Amino acid sequence: MLNETNYTMLLDYYELTMSNGYFLSGKSEEIAYFDVFFRKIPDGGGFAIAAGLEQIINYIKNLKFTKEDIAFLKGKGIFDDKFLEYLANFKFTGDIWAVPEGTPIFPGEPILTVRGKSCETQLIETFILLTINHQSLIATKANRIVRAAEGRPIMEFGARRAQGIDGAINGARAAFIGGCASTSCTISDRRFGVPAAGTMAHSWVQMFDSEYDAFVAYCKTYPHGATLLIDTYDIFGSGIKNAIKAFKEVLVPQGINDFGVRIDSGDIAYITKKLRRILNEEGLPQCKIVVSNSLDERIIADLIKQGAEIDSFGVGERLITSKSEPVFGGVYKLVATEREGTVIPKIKISENPEKITNPGFKKLYRIFDKETGKAQADLITLRDETIDTSAPLEIFDPQNTWKRKTFESYELREMLQPIFEGGKLVYQMPTAKESKEYCLSQVESLWDEVKRFENPHTYYVDLSEKLWDLKHELLRFNRKSK
Amino acid sequence: MLNETNYTMLLDYYELTMSNGYFLSGKSEEIAYFDVFFRKIPDGGGFAIAAGLEQIINYIKNLKFTKEDIAFLKGKGIFDDKFLEYLANFKFTGDIWAVPEGTPIFPGEPILTVRGKSCETQLIETFILLTINHQSLIATKANRIVRAAEGRPIMEFGARRAQGIDGAINGARAAFIGGCASTSCTISDRRFGVPAAGTMAHSWVQMFDSEYDAFVAYCKTYPHGATLLIDTYDIFGSGIKNAIKAFKEVLVPQGINDFGVRIDSGDIAYITKKLRRILNEEGLPQCKIVVSNSLDERIIADLIKQGAEIDSFGVGERLITSKSEPVFGGVYKLVATEREGTVIPKIKISENPEKITNPGFKKLYRIFDKETGKAQADLITLRDETIDTSAPLEIFDPQNTWKRKTFESYELREMLQPIFEGGKLVYQMPTAKESKEYCLSQVESLWDEVKRFENPHTYYVDLSEKLWDLKHELLRFNRKSK
């Protein structure tokens, strides 16, 4: 595989200091359970999209501290020799469950759970978090932009403004899973099959003695799919005239009709309407209009509302960095330990109720309405609970427990899939294209009220009675005894 | 080298379609000149910090399309066989000049110039831009945060919230160049010598039967530099009490004094003042107070103003993503071509005056005041111009040409250093630590008016008379003839 690089040393230093400490405190064989969850949906949206699992799987498979890594750590002078020996033979032997890539996800619910020996679970924290946080951020943003475009293709154009190499490469992948049609980033096509697209920059036009020469040369080189960039000098003064001339002289006589023009500046609504009129008057209604220039979901929705004549959008920096909200706040929290086969639930308390964790080893269900197929709510239970799906299902709001709802005709889907069991990969990873299709079908299963951009309906993520009781018992216990 | 991965295929697809087109249009041997410059300083600051050159150098040295890459491109069905053969033997044979990493930079000035055969210059565009854009963004943000902290160390903590692997690894590097003291990201220490730091997460505290047990175990494992996280359950109810007890029982009797407490939640100003009082009353004035939790330069400045008792700051997501402004808008623009040894200046025009490029092959000078050593202005000239430094130097504002200033006692520094000559590396790359020291000394050379956060003074970047004349001649010519 092209992307199976060893990133074992990409970890927060405190994962090493803690692991060495567990080792020396006789806690390295103790089993720990960690949940990944997030607290806030970016951009005030109604849901996020999970992404990044493939990179986590590759990372886990390739875990290996090299001799040089061990020598480097030894040089720090704080790690025990036995611990370094342990690291030299380190591998992940635990279990991981996760929601598939492309799944709509909601605050507070576990989207990935790790069970394993304390050091193993601790040492993989940083990579898991950064991967989920990055790719879920971009998939979520891409899905917003795709929905705003109402069926018009979104080309992801952002590599040059991405936050680093991987921001571009895996960013393009996540954007595709979220619904983008293509990317500018060639390596993401090569690695993940995200279709690469693009035609010319202003430099192409400048390299020729005239704009017209540049356009003719391009149409001759690429008679199919030629999209001419017409704003190097003056869109209406020269750009569109030279483009029309090139199309009519080179392409139309050959019966070729898949060409277009692109603009990357100016007042897009005004310009595209005028361009459409000119192109139609010139007998070129087939000529597509592509636009780019600092677009995002709000600008796209606004352009469509204003009647801009646009066939597809190129979206760059505001997608690839999720500019309006560039952080996805996924966290990795200890929820239980295990001694001699007994699971001991753990809690982290905070003055801020949203920061209090849901303790224990858990399951996540999505409740679908049997008739409409729509997702109604998510339910978190303890792992050993069972739900009698032949009976009605009552759920309640964990903050306002008097708010209750009963489902009569429903289907449950268990959302966390087994990924690793005893260190062995047990999951058949879908392709990026399959994850994209899954994503779009799952977004389709959400009510429009959850999908709207402004003040979306809050989708319920409820706790089972047993989990709620456990949480409140631990809250009471930890506040008084510590 | 650890970081010499081959990223040749990390390029926008249009670089390939254009290059194939240059090849087929007989333009592949034509020489092109490209400038990298940026238009807007993030966060309304007075300057940015350049970073990323080391990664660009490694990339250029490792350029290589593999057989599999070529086969992949062949499968696209649009690239000429001779072009693919050319790619199979591709390397960079041109010249690159750049400002050293850590240099304060200003809008509109060339910070990197590439001269080479058209295809070569085109194919490296994406990687150069994404690297400079990412690392300059983070170095700039880091420098702001470091200045806000007024001498208190900043620990970069953001790996888990970075936009991808490289966002974390090279982000930590850029943050260090901008002035951070350390990073949480271990691999950045291993690769670049950015000191890694960190002690414990909440999970450490939760793994033990009690908070006190967790603190004692930590102090015993790491008697030096132990920083205990005291907000897992209740800062004043248990955290600080258990920490003081552990320090007094384990460390103080050994005469150890380099310990501290960390909080990651709550009202930092209120809590740290109260903690300082408690620690002093308990006879532990040596105990350091470390804080984290969504900090940035504005919050840090505010905390200091409120008299918060803080010894050092851990800064995460808002630094590693430059959250308040996550895009650095560097561009790569064709400024000249060359035929038979003659440089032909090129311009890109826009309705927006800031988007009009400065044509030609150029030099960048920084003008220093001889007495104070302070940077007074930057001056862009054509490459073949010489400045008589024995005479006074008059510069003028390129927008308001009547605004003129004359320097009598000045020194000029040429800012663009030769990096590659004829494809050969001619630059001795400084270490990240040297770049950091250079950065801090160069920021010191700026007037305080340029450094302030609110409405900083606009530092002048002027054009020589010859360059100004050339630009306006090309503007007139291209607006009428195209």
Same structural domain, B344 and B284 = no
Same structural domain, B281 and B330 = no
Residue ranges of alpha helices (H) inside B3-160 are: 13-24, 53-61, 67-74, 81-88, 118-123, 125-148
Cβ neighbours of A236 in B, within 8 Å: none
Tens of pLDDT, residues A24-79 = 999 999 999 999 999 999 999 999 999 999 999 999 999 999 999 999 999 999 99
Tens of pLDDT, residues B174-184 = 999 999 999 99
Write the CATH number for A242: 3.20.20.70
pLDDT for residue A479 is more than 90: no
Residue B31 lies in a domain: yes
Cβ neighbours of B10 in A, within 8 Å: 159, 165, 168-169, 185-187
Domain end among A320, A355, A372: A320
Mutate to test the interface with B, among A27, A194, A206, A292 (most CBs of B within 10 A): A206
B151: left (phi over 0), alpha (psi -120 to 50) or beta: left
The count of C-alpha atoms lying within 13 angstroms of the C-alpha of A47, restricted to the half-sphere facing its C-beta, is 29
* Banded model confidence at residue B3, pLDDT cuts 50, 70, 90: very low
Q: Nearest C-alpha of chain B: how many angstroms from A422?
A: 21
User: What is the tally of structural domains in chain A?
Assistant: 2
Same structural domain, A276 and A158 = yes
Q: Considering CB atoms only, which of A159, A218, A221 is closest to B130?
A: A159
- Tokens for A219? 């149409």
**Interchain contact, B17 vs A165, CB within 8 Å:** no
Residue A3 lies in a domain: no
Inter-chain Cβ pairs, chain A and chain B, closer than 8 A:
330
* Banded model confidence at residue B352, pLDDT cuts 50, 70, 90: confident
How high is the pLDDT of residue A188? 97
How high is the pLDDT of residue A153? 98
Residue B47 lies in a domain: yes
What is the distance between the alpha carbons of residues A459 and A361, in angstroms, rounded to a whole number?
23
Same structural domain, B334 and B270 = no
* Banded model confidence at residue B481, pLDDT cuts 50, 70, 90: low
Q: How crowded is residue A66: how many other Cβ atoms within 10 Å of its Cβ?
A: 14
How high is the pLDDT of residue A477? 85
Interface list for A 276-305 with B (CB within 8 A): none
Q: Considering CB atoms only, which of A14, A207, A349 is closest to B27?
A: A207
Same structural domain, B334 and B278 = no
**Interchain contact, B217 vs A25, CB within 8 Å:** yes
State in Å, rounded, how far the first CA of chain B is from the last one: 49
Q: Is B417 helix (H, G, I), strand (E, B) or coil?
A: strand
How high is the pLDDT of residue A2? 39
Residue A207 sits at the chain B interface (C-beta within 8 Å): yes
- Tokens for A306? 């204003």
Mutate to test the interface with B, among A192, A203, A238, A324 (most CBs of B within 10 A): A203
pLDDT for residue B193 is more than 90: yes
Same structural domain, A111 and A221 = no
The DSSP 8-state label assigned to residue A99 in this structure reads: P
**Interchain contact, A349 vs B137, CB within 8 Å:** no
pLDDT for residue B101 is more than 50: yes
**Interchain contact, B21 vs A134, CB within 8 Å:** no
Percent of chain A residues topping a pLDDT of 70: 99
Residue A66 lies in a domain: yes
Q: Is A334 helix (H, G, I), strand (E, B) or coil?
A: strand
Residue B468: phi, psi to the nearest 5? -60, -45
**Interchain contact, A7 vs B165, CB within 8 Å:** yes
A349-377 average pLDDT score:
92
pLDDT for residue A259 is more than 70: yes
DSSP B221-255: H--SS-EEE--SS-IIIIIHHHHHHHIIIIIGGGT
Cβ neighbours of B227 in A, within 8 Å: none
Cβ proximity of B189 and B181 under 8 Å: no
Domain end among A320, A355, A388: A320
Residue B339 sits at the chain A interface (C-beta within 8 Å): no
Cβ neighbours of B187 in A, within 8 Å: 7, 9-11
pLDDT for residue B199 is more than 90: no
What is the distance between the alpha carbons of residues B2 and B7, in angstroms, rounded to a whole number?
14
Cβ proximity of B214 and B241 under 8 Å: no
Distance of CA B85 to the CA centre of its chain: 36
Tens of pLDDT, residues A402-434 = 999 999 999 999 999 999 999 999 999 999 999
Q: Which residue in chain B has the smallest CA separation from A482? A: B238
Interface list for B 54-73 with A (CB within 8 A): 69, 72
B90-113 average pLDDT score:
98
Predicted ipTM? 0.96
Same structural domain, A348 and A416 = yes
Interface list for B 354-373 with A (CB within 8 A): 355
**Mean pLDDT estimate for chain B:** 95
* Banded model confidence at residue A351, pLDDT cuts 50, 70, 90: confident
What is the distance between the alpha carbons of residues A353 and B59, in angstroms, rounded to a whole number?
47
**Interchain contact, A329 vs B161, CB within 8 Å:** yes
Residue B134 sits at the chain A interface (C-beta within 8 Å): yes
Same structural domain, A237 and A381 = no
**Interchain contact, A161 vs B10, CB within 8 Å:** no
Residue A178 sits at the chain B interface (C-beta within 8 Å): no
The DSSP 8-state label assigned to residue B77 in this structure reads: S
Same structural domain, B336 and B383 = yes
Residue A277 lies in a domain: yes
B305-325 average pLDDT score:
98
Q: Nearest C-alpha of chain A: how many angstroms from B388?
A: 34
Same structural domain, A109 and A219 = no
- Tokens for A454? 């402004």
**Interchain contact, A198 vs B232, CB within 8 Å:** no
Residue B133 sits at the chain A interface (C-beta within 8 Å): yes
**Interchain contact, A349 vs B233, CB within 8 Å:** yes
Q: Is A397 helix (H, G, I), strand (E, B) or coil?
A: coil
Percent of chain B residues topping a pLDDT of 70: 99
How high is the pLDDT of residue B2? 39
Cβ proximity of A279 and A244 under 8 Å: yes
Which residue segment(s) compose the domain that B133 sits in?
Answer: 13-138+326-481
Write the CATH number for B41: 3.20.140.10
* Banded model confidence at residue A141, pLDDT cuts 50, 70, 90: very high
Interface list for A 453-472 with B (CB within 8 A): none
Same structural domain, A176 and A77 = no
What is the distance between the alpha carbons of residues B321 and B317, in angstroms, rounded to a whole number?
6
Residue B136 sits at the chain A interface (C-beta within 8 Å): no
Q: Considering CB atoms only, which of B186, B221, B352 is closest to A11?
A: B186
Domain end among B235, B269, B293: B293
